[in-house]
Amino acid sequence: MAAGPLMNLILAVVLFAVTLMGIGVVTTSTTVGSVNACVVPASAQTQQDQCPPGAPAAPAAAAGFQPGDRIVAFAGRPFAEFDGPELQQTIRAAEGPVPVTVDRGGSCST
């Protein structure tokens, strides 16, 4: 009598395990996913991939960041690959120019 509900429970556990291990869970990391070319106000009516005339360059683009760069240190503080939340908080708290060390293709540069 309990075989049906027990099999449903086992099947659910197996499917969740396969899904979470095979596909994964979205997490933040220290790898740059994309870099916007310019800073555009949210109210601006432009296409996503075009910068309007006079729009200032985005700080990451001005600093030379590229998709795939991994931030290894920010303001002298080292970060591991999965320290994404701590790195986000540190970036948001920073003011003015800050030295950033990135790993691009195996070589580190500041």
Task: Report the alpha-carbon distance of residue 91 to residue 2 in Å, rounded.
Answer: 54
pTM above 0.75, yes or no: no
Output b/e per residue, 6-17; b: 16+ Cβ within 10 A. eeeeeeeeeeee
Helix (H) or strand (E) holding 104: strand 100-104
For β-strands 107-109 and 70-74, DSSP reports them as: unpaired
pLDDT tens digits for range 17-63: 888 887 766 778 888 888 888 887 777 776 666 777 777 888 888 88
Q: Angle at CA 71, nearest 5°, toward 78 and 81?
A: 75
- Tell me the domains of the chain and their CATH numbers: 27-42+50-109 (2.30.42.10)
